[in-house]
């Protein structure tokens, strides 16, 4: 059997010096530690990644009698956890698959998140709501009811997130979407001062990048990294967060903030955090938590669900004048940088 398998491999293409034949065929053993419990039985009605209703609740139920209660100790306190799971309802694996988005073009399965993999293993960073003995209550999922769970790991942003990394054909797909500016972006005096601090001191063009993206579309979106933040919105730009409101076709950038909590920034073990020194210097200059500063100084402009909500804005309601005037326009503001 081993010879048969090896015979299928192209020995010529392997550098002889680096090929070591295993003495035994590796035996890999994995068994479920538990199962996902949710109302979602049809895999076709699921999102392609865990996005959707923030109030959604699902349960990962671990098997009894295996000391898993102890294995879950200390998981509370992590916002997200990785579920490593088995696509138990997939068909055959395929070397190339047709992704659900974009033009019809097949992609190598290893360049996708498709279920049709030789080892049908899925990974999903789900929100952890709470731990109840050997049950985990989690948020949105892209797993069907009954999916076998193989492992659980904590999601550690400083280790697991590389937001500036290139994403090959997925980036191309995003770029191919309509990227003409449609919103006018104005910038508060505070945000201008913060942008200047980052540009002059650290050669970081965070505000320019955020403004370009907001001029195209400020509506909440996972891959554009825009989400609601109370009555405001925020866009993640590399290791930074940029807070803004929207009124009609006008986006007002209010302020910026480091993306990492102070405890992470000053942890000597986490020296690889992007822009770490700039973030520490920024926090020293503007120490207040963004939400507190916002509540003290200014009133919200765009309550969620109002007509000013960018999630509700449509291209058809936009005039060509607005389209033509879209772009970053600094605007005087009464707010003073501190
Ligand atoms: C595109 S995959 C991504 C999975 C995972 N987040 C990943 O990146 O590895 C998600 C899709 O897998 C399908 N799916 C979910 N649970 C499954 C299961 N147990 N067996 C087979 N397919 C499943 C659903 O159609 C869902 O939309």
What are the φ/ψ torsions at residue 122 (nearest 5 degrees)? -110, 155
pLDDT at 331 > cutoff 60: no
Beta strands in the chain (DSSP E): 34-37, 58-62, 80-86, 96-97, 107-108, 121-132, 135-138, 148-154, 184-187, 226-229, 232-237, 240-247, 250-258, 327-330
Lowest mean pLDDT among 73-77, 119-123, 129-133, 316-320: 316-320
Atom of ligand 1 nearest to the CA of 122: 9
Domain range summary for the chain, segments of one domain joined by +:
28-155, 168-330
> What percent of the chain clears pLDDT 70, i.e. is strictly above it?
72
124 C-beta closer than 6 A to ligand 1: yes
- d(C-alpha 209, C-alpha 307), whole Å: 26
Helices (H), the chain: 2-8, 68-71, 157-160, 168-176, 189-202, 206-216, 262-265, 276-285, 290-297, 320-325
Mean pLDDT for all residues in the chain: 78
- d(C-alpha 30, C-alpha 283), whole Å: 45
Report the pLDDT value the prediction gives residue 304, as an integer from 0 to 100: 32
92 Cα: distance to centroid of ligand 1 (angstroms) = 14
- Taking only the tens place, the pLDDT of each residue in 269-289 is 777 788 888 999 999 999 865
Which of 207, 218, 208, 221 shows the shortest CA–CA distance to 245?
218
Helices (H) and strands (E) in the chain — how many of each? 10, 14
Domain 28-155 has CATH 2.60.120.650: no
pLDDT at 77 > cutoff 70: yes
122 C-beta closer than 6 A to ligand 1: yes
pLDDT at 14 > cutoff 70: no
Report the pLDDT value the prediction gives residue 336, as an integer from 0 to 100: 31
| Angle at 244 (CA atoms; ends 238, 248), nearest 5 degrees | 130
- Burial class of residue 251 in the structure, from the number of CB atoms within 10 Å of its CB (0-12 exposed, 13-18 middle, 19+ buried): buried
- Taking only the tens place, the pLDDT of each residue in 208-232 is 889 988 988 898 887 778 999 999 9
Tokens 């449509």, residue located: 314
pTM of the model: 0.56
Number of other CB atoms surrounding residue 332 within 10 Å: 9
Atom of ligand 1 nearest to the CA of 49: 6
Report the pLDDT value the prediction gives residue 90, as an integer from 0 to 100: 78
Q: Name the pairing type of β-strands 327-330 and 184-187.
A: parallel
90 C-beta closer than 6 A to ligand 1: yes
- Fold agreement (28-155, 168-330): no
Q: What's the gap between Cα 218 and its chain centre?
A: 16
49 C-beta closer than 6 A to ligand 1: yes
| CATH code matching the domain that covers 168-330, chosen among 3.30.390.30, 3.30.2310.20, 3.40.50.150, 3.40.50.1820 | 3.30.2310.20
Tokens 């601090």, residue located: 197
- Taking only the tens place, the pLDDT of each residue in 161-205 is 998 899 999 888 877 765 667 899 999 999 999 999 998 898 888
137 Cα: distance to centroid of ligand 1 (angstroms) = 19
């Amino acid at each position: 059997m081993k010879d048969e398998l090896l015979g299928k491999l192209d020995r010529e293409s392997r550098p002889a010096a680096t090929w070591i034949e295993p003495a035994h065929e590796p035996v890999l053993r994995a068994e479920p530690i538990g199962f996902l419990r949710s109302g979602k039985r049809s895999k076709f009605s699921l999102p392609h990644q865990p996005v959707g209703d923030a109030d959604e609740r699902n349960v990962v139920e671990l098997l009894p009698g295996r000391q898993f209660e102890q294995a879950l100790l200390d998981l509370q306190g992590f916002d997200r956890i990785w579920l490593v799971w088995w696509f138990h309802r997939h068909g055959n694996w395929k070397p190339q698959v047709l992704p659900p988005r974009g033009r019809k073009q097949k992609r190598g399965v290893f360049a996708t998140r498709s279920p049709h993999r030789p080892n049908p293993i899925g990974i999903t960073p789900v929100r952890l709501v709470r731990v109840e003995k050997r049950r985990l209550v989690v948020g949105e999922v892209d797993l069907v009811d009954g999916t076998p769970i193989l492992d659980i790991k904590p999601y550690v942003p400083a280790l697991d997130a590389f937001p500036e990394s290139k994403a090959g054909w997925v980036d191309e797909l995003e770029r191919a979407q309509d990227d003409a500016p449609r919103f006018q972006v104005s910038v508060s005096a505070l945000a201008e001062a913060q942008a200047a601090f980052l540009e002059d001191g650290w050669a970081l063009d965070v505000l320019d990048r955020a403004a370009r993206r907001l001029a195209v579309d400020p509506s909440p979106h996972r891959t554009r990294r825009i989400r609601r933040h109370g009555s405001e919105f925020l866009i993640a730009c590399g290791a930074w967060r940029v807070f803004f409101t929207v009124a009609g076709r006008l986006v007002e950038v209010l302020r910026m903030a480091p993306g990492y909590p102070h405890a992470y920034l000053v942890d000597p073990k986490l020296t690889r955090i992007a822009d770490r020194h700039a973030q520490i210097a920024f926090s020293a200059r503007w120490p207040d938590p963004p939400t507190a500063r916002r509540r003290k100084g200014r009133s919200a402009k765009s309550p969620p669900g109002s007509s000013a909500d960018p999630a509700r804005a449509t291209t058809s309601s936009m005039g060509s004048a607005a389209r033509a005037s879209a772009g970053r326009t600094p605007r005087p503001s009464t707010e003073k940088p501190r």
